[in-house]
Amino acid sequence: MIKIAPSILSADFSKLGEDVKKLEMCNADVVHIDVMDGMFVPNISFGIPVIKSIRNITKLPFDVHLMIEEPGRYIEDFVKAGADIITVHYEADRHIDRTINYIKSFGVKAAIALNPGTPVSVLKDIIPSLDMVLIMSVNPGFGGQKYISYASKKIKEVNELKEEYNKNLIIEVDGGIDVHNIKEVVQSGAEYIVAGSAVFKNGNIEENINNLKEAAK
């Protein structure tokens, strides 16, 4: 069964609490939280206090996607803010193995995200240590961008590594997913599907999530 992970980057920040509360009743499975520092990506979103403020609003797991330089500096803060999964970018961390083990030392799931231009082969040695791999299907920084088609091939490559080295690995995909391409990413092997604009558009969260789940079949 796939899981839909709405990215709250596309929520209405003036009523963020209400939107997050709705997700649980609207068949969402995970809350995807995009943290941007204006350095690793050319945009600034929100940080630790915002995550803390919505933690008690929902029981859904928090999937925290850190688009920040040297994420190792802030892991403990994000754990305390309520993260269940912490994803760091391969490109943002010179000591990725140390950071992954550090995340896991808190009993939180650890994941690596790869930018579109980063090959899957860089994961080969570390994959047994990971709980999840996130394949970016847009260049990170903004919601509402177009799906980069070669991401599907990369998902398949991660799936091959999963078969060989880590059968419990979760494969997540993020960026430009909608009802037209969700089936392709699921068939390629993705199980956690991040969707921002496709979930929050027109304010019909429940209908949008149900349409995505239906289109994935």
Nearest to 86 by CA among 56, 108, 55: 108
Rounded to whole angstroms, the Cα distance separating 171 from 112 reads 10
Q: Which of 115, 129, 145, 211 binds ligand DX5 (CB under 6 A)?
A: 145
Residue 179 CB, shortest distance to Zn ion, in Å, is 19
The count of chain residues that interact with ligand DX5, using the rule CB under 6 A, is: 21
Q: What does the DSSP 8-state code read for residue 73?
A: G
Helix (H, G, I), strand (E, B) or coil at 171: strand
Phi/psi at 60 (5° precision): -60, 145
Q: Pick from ligand DX5, Zn ion, none: which does 86 bind, CB < 5 to 8 A by kind?
A: none
Site string for ligand DX5, 95-134 (x = CB under 6 A): ----------------------------------------
Q: What does the DSSP 8-state code read for residue 13?
A: G
Ligand-binding annotation for 174, yes or no, is yes
175 counts as binding ligand DX5 under rule CB under 6 A: yes
Residue 126 CB, shortest distance to ligand DX5, in Å, is 21
Q: Which ranges constitute the DSSP H helices of 4-56?
A: 16-25, 48-55
Helix (H, G, I), strand (E, B) or coil at 217: coil
Rounded to whole angstroms, the Cα distance separating 27 from 210 reads 7
Site string for ligand DX5, 34-73 (x = CB under 6 A): x------------------------------x--------
Q: Which of 58, 197, 210, 211 binds ligand DX5 (CB under 6 A)?
A: 197
- CB contact at 8 A, 69 and 37: yes
Residue 195 CB, shortest distance to ligand DX5, in Å, is 5
Residue 84 bears catalytic tag: no
Rounded to whole angstroms, the Cα distance separating 165 from 216 reads 27
Q: Pick from Zn ion, ligand DX5, none: which does 145 bind, CB < 5 to 8 A by kind?
A: ligand DX5
Rounded to whole angstroms, the Cα distance separating 96 from 79 reads 17
Residues annotated as part of the active site = 34, 174
- Contacts to ligand DX5 by CB under 6 A: 7, 9-10, 32, 34, 65, 138, 140-141, 143-145, 174-177, 194-198
